[in-house]
Structure 1
């Protein structure tokens, strides 16, 4: 028997104490167990958790003592789950997920009691005329609701709404399955490209067409973003059926503009970017056959009937219909 196995036997002896001495493990300890179970390597798991390997080992042993069973077989080269570890793994995962749901539910009640409405926004959507109209009407109709606006990156835009980190958000479609929304306005799109690109100069004489941009990569988004969303924004495939080449991955508007300014990619954006995001090294050009964009107020079905969200939805619905028919840059008809 190796020294590692002997040490493990000593641990097993300690954890085989009478049941009365066992304590309920914390959620933190369960998360550590799940991370080690995912990696089956204490070094890699410690790196993921930003703690030392020795500290991780001590805390895992503490968890084993609380539970009264060994979770891992360790030696100098390998780590594997014991039969008890394999059996407890899905139960621990479910417990951690359940505790996350408890926290989200508690956060929902805190906001509801305090009249807090947390709104997310992609880019400068919260500053657009249609969003301003909704928020102004909300403030006049419900003065006791306190609104906080959070800027969302591409990776977080849908996850934040689905997980309840924000109550609703001003986003760009298409929305993934699991979210509901109300169309607020339709606006032209333009191409954002490097000021040094020859097409930036030629576009001053006449609008471009998508065919002239066929060889330009389009700024990509992180893997967690639904691919159908990027396809819609990149116009992939193009009208002639050709695919679009992804450029560097960016997670927010500023990173996208930086990538464009360096000539590494282009991006298709709402025409309002000309006013909202003037940047050195970046140019905006009209594209005659580029589809428009529809701004959307999105929410999760799980939160739609919370008082603050229901109030926001009703206000948005009323503002949209009050401004129908749609006009570029202002509230449009519901969709």
Structure 2
């Protein structure tokens, strides 16, 4: 049997129920699925194995010799799967200690949701949420002062990420800017507006991405003399008319500010909100627990028609 066609544990469990009931209708009712769906799963199991397991007639159902011979192995398989599930559940319950999670805004609803989910799953795990700026969102990972960070991509080499959600970029402009009242602008139209400068200690790839530098048409990007390291300081410079910033579309709802306007950018690439950690800490129990919880939140966000990673109108389970 080719490993690519291995039967599922679910199919094996259904066959064991059929072996006890010897009746498709009763077996289907017992597992709360329709009889046609039950029959299809048994057929697929037989196809995966390349063996007939059941003799069917209008009057009765009997196991074939192969079906009877395989019963002990199938029971052992489901027992092993149950034991594995119990072991994983026990390991999850025993995660304890302290997790340091960085975020550029600690009050984001996604941070609250993630911490709450972790604490429901791991009552003995202490979660310390710390605010990090544009520099510390990577330096805190590399120097070990944070176990993981919620931030926007890109990240330096040596840091791994889990994408939580994607969203558009928008231009943050002074309210008196000639383009501030437009519904949408292009990168070419913004070429003459300087970008508020970030500190040289901010990761270069991240600085370039959030300045759209270089522009698609090769136009050079000019910068103000600022060396901002935080969202607030860079937006404050924008409000004083010193330049512009590219920011995530979430900022419209999260950070309304006097003196600025958020304008759609028609040809800017989307940005990604991520959970980031270093390769060295990837398999520590606290980071494994965090990654699992974040993956569940990311999966829940994929079910939202217009996913925005700061929303909490979804259920990530327990």
Place the TM-score, normalised by the shorter chain, in its bin. Answer: 0.5 to 0.7
Distance 2:279 2:268 in 1: 32
Check whether the contact 1:218–1:246 (CA below 8 A) recurs between aligned residues. yes
- 1:30 matched to which residue of 2? none
Q: Deviations over 1:205-226 (max 9, x none)?
A: x311111110111122211222
SS in 1 for 2:267: coil
> Greater Rg, structure 1 or structure 2?
2
Correspondence 1:231 to 2:211: no
Q: Contact 2:95–2:285 at 8 Å: present in 1 too?
A: no
Q: Which structure 2 residues correspond to residues 1-335 of structure 1 after superposition, within 5 A? A: 115-122=97-104, 124=105, 126-201=106-181, 203=182, 206-247=183-224, 248-324=226-302, 327-330=306-309
TM-score, normalising length: structure 2: 0.63
Find the residue that maps to 1:305 and give its secondary structure. Answer: coil
Contact persistence 2:96–2:286 (CA under 8 A): no
Q: Which has the higher helix share?
A: 1
TM superposition score normalised by structure 1: 0.60
- How much has 1:136 moved relative to structure 2? 2.9
SS state at 2:100 partner = strand
Q: Alpha-carbon deviation of 1:233?
A: 0.9
Q: Tell me the distance in 2 between the aligned counterparts of 1:174 and 1:133.
A: 23
CA contact (8 A) 1:191 1:286 kept: yes
Residues 198 and 228, structure 2, Cα contact 8 Å, conserved in 1: yes
- CA change 1:276–1:210 in 2 (3 A) is same
Are the counterparts in 1 of residues 95 and 122 from structure 2 also a CA contact under 8 Å? no
> Does structure 1 conserve the Cα–Cα contact (< 8 Å) formed by 2:301 and 2:308?
no
Change (3 A) 1:330 1:251: closer
Asked whether the 8 Å contact 1:182–1:298 carries over to 2, the reply is yes
Give the whole-Å Cα distance in 2 for the aligned partners of 1:114 and 1:316: 17
- Residues matched between the structures, number: 216
1:196 alignment partner, SS class: coil
**Displacement after TM superposition at 1:113 (Å):** 9.9
CA distance in 2, matches of 1:295, 1:129: 13
> Where in structure 1 are there 5+ consecutive unaligned residues?
1-111
Gaps of 5+ in 2: 1-93, 312-318
Q: Could you tell me whether the CA contact under 8 Å between 1:323 and 1:331 is conserved in 2?
A: no
Distance 2:267 2:113 in 1: 30
Alpha-carbon distance between aligned partners in 2 of 1:310 and 1:209, rounded to the nearest angstrom: 41
Distance (whole Å) between structure 2 residues aligned to residue 224 and residue 295 of structure 1? 21
Shift of 1:250: 0.5
Aligned partner of residue 328 in structure 1, secondary structure: coil
Shift of 1:132: 4.1
What RMSD over aligned residues (CA atoms) do the two structures have, in Å?
A: 2.3
Is contact 1:155–1:221 with CA below 8 Å preserved after alignment?
A: no
- Equivalents in 2 of 1:297, 1:127: separation in Å? 16
